[in-house]
Copies of this chain bind each other. A is one copy, B any other.
Amino acid sequence: MANIREIAETAGVSITTVSRVLNGHPYVKEEKRQKVLETIERLEYARNMHAVHLSKGFSNMIGVVLPTIGLPYFGELLEGIAEEAAKEGVHFSLYQTNYQLEKEIFALEQLKQRQVDGLIFCSKAMSDEALLDWHETGPFILCQDSSERYFSTVSIPHKDAFRLGLDFLIEKGHTKIAIGLARKNGMNSHFRLEAYKEALAAIGEPYREEWVFERSLTITDGQKLFSEWREMEEKPTAVFIANDQVTAGMFLEAQRHQVDIPGSLAILSCDNQPISEVLGISTIKINIKEMGKHAFRLLRKRIGGAGPEKQTVPYKLIKRATV
């Protein structure tokens, strides 16, 4: 593999000049530029990026921290990030954590070691307080709201969005409403639970722990959820689930058991993934891909030295056939 010195020597110029044409700097006589370019071509030279990174102090590579790429939510988020990153010629590396603390710490250590220029936390197990200790390590942003003012965040106003859905169900006459959340102690769930409690209070309904389903992530979870509903003595007339995959599982299972929807059971979901359109499930559209794009741009700013900033992504109720 040729290096920059060989190129300089064979082209009969200085290393500096080669570097200049490599980086598209002005002030290189056209004649020399051509000569260098031709030599590069002939010797099949390619820069050793490790040297560039060491010299420049950064690598144009960011890290994306997420529990698993298997869930559509994160897939979409990732697509948004990837799309923006590609535009700017920024690479990204993936850190799958499965919500294991040590994996998240691993990613932060990579940041510290400059393996990456910055980090996007799509979701995390670590508490805000614990993460605060890493504040000086390097730039990172969160894809969820945080009251911590040092953190840059981009988020969907889950509380408001969830309340919108609940009010819609209430407006349709429902008072017996159950909900399905992903991880009970996650931030998103926290906000949704708040909205739930407030909505119940507003219509004078009691809060029942047993009507809050959790650990709902996959289609299979949705099927189980239906079974649980079916076994209940007092059945809620509506379920509001925080994830289209789960909803799809519940809906399909309900259909199989010939439950009248929305007659006997109204189903409302969140996300608006393709499957909810296919099945005609009413849902709160949340543009996750858009959030990914915002996230990337925000991290970029942060890496550029900007201060912390909080951003928000819009949501929308989509009425279909299940409510």
Chain A positions near chain B (C-beta within 8 angstroms): 46-51, 53-54, 57, 59, 61, 68-70, 75-76, 78-79, 82, 86, 91-94, 96, 109-110, 112-115, 218-220, 223, 249, 252-253, 274-275, 277-279
Contacts and interface: CB of A to CB of B under 8 A. Distances in A.
A290 to B, nearest CB: 15
B86 A96 contact: yes
Contacts of A96: 79, 82, 86
Contacts of A86: 96
Nearest to A222: B278
Contact of A278 (B114, B220, B277): B220
A92 B93 contact: yes
B94 A82 contact: yes
A68 to B, nearest CB: 7
A275 B92 CA distance: 30
A69 B61 contact: no
A113 B46 contact: yes
Given A49-B110, A69-B78, A79-B96, 12 more contacts: A46-B112, A48-B113, A50-B54, A53-B53, A61-B93, A69-B69, A70-B75, A91-B93, A93-B94, A219-B275, A219-B278, A220-B274
A170 to B, nearest CB: 29
A36 B219 CA distance: 52
Contacts of A218: 274
A137 B304 CA distance: 34
A48 B76 CA distance: 32
A113 B274 contact: no
A115 B49 contact: yes
